[in-house]
Amino acid sequence: MQIDLGGKTALVSGSSQGIGAAIAEGLARAGATVILNGRNSRSVTRAAETLTRAVPDADIKKFVADIATEKGALTAAERYPDVDILINNLGIFGATTALEISDEEWRRYFEVNVLAAVRLTRLYLPGMMARGWGRIQYIGSDSAVVTPAEMIHYGVSKTALLGVSRGFAKAAAGSGVTVNSVLAGPTHTGGVEDFVYELVDPALPWDEAQREFMRVHRPQSLLQRLIEPAEIANMVVYLSSPLASATTGAAVRVDGGYIDSILP
C-alpha cells in the first residue's frame, strides 16, 4: 500500500509531543507539509528538531499559539489558509471524582476538547469543500464509549466529538471531503510509564510491567499492552490519504480491542 501525500498541507493541533508528534511524523513520511502546533515555542522547536532527525527531508512549519482559543484558531486560518488535512488532536485529561467536577472544569473540558475542534473545522471545511478535497479527523478515545469513572468530564467530551464528527461529515457530504474520528485506546505517552510503575512492581522490565498493568488494570484490552503512538499515527495517515476516500462519518478504532463491543 503506497500512501503519497505530496503536495498536501496538514495541520496537527497539539503536536509538540505524544500522539500528535507521532501523527506529524507519519504525515511527513508520507510527503505532506506538516504544521506543528503547541503553546510553547521551546517545545515546538524541539518537536521540529526531532521530526527533522526522523524525516530529514520533511517540510515543517512551526505554529506557536494556543489553538484552543478563538484568537489562536483565527491566526492559524489566516497564516495557513489552504490546509488540506486537519487533525484535531489537541486535548486535556485528568482524574477528578465525579461529584467534585466543578462547572468551571466542565466548561474547560468542553472548550478545549470539543469547541476547539469545532472552531477549526468551521474555519477550514469551507475551503476544503470549495477545492473538492480534504480530510478532517478528530482524535478520540476509548473513553468516548467506555466512560471512565475517574474522569467522566473527559469521557463525555470525547463522546461529544463522535457527534461532532458525524455531523460535519454530513455537512461535507458529496464534496470530496471526508470527516472521521479515531478512537485511540490506552497509549504509551509521556508520563504513562511513571503511572504504570505506581501500580505494578517497579523492578519489572518495561515490557513486562506494561503487560502486567494491562492484565490487572486494563483487562478488557485484547492487545494486552499499551498502544504505541506510531500505531495510532498509521491509521491517521491512512485516513488522510486518497486510499480512504470511501471512509467518512466513521468512528475508527485503534484501541487494541479495549472497547468490548462489535460497534463503537
Catalytic residue ranges: 154
Single-letter amino acid code for the residue at 23: I
**For residues 150 and 133, what is the distance between their CA atoms, to the nearest angstrom?**
40
Q: What are phi and psi for residue 64, nearest 5 degrees?
A: -95, 110
**Could you tell me which residues come within 8 angstroms of residue 176 by beta carbon, excluding any fewer than 6 positions away?**
128, 129, 132, 133, 134
**For residues 170 and 161, what is the distance between their CA atoms, to the nearest angstrom?**
14
> Are 47 and 38 within 8 A, CB to CB?
yes
**For residues 264 and 260, what is the distance between their CA atoms, to the nearest angstrom?**
9
> Are 164 and 120 within 8 A, CB to CB?
no
> Are 25 and 55 within 8 A, CB to CB?
yes
Residue corresponding to grid cell 478515545: 141
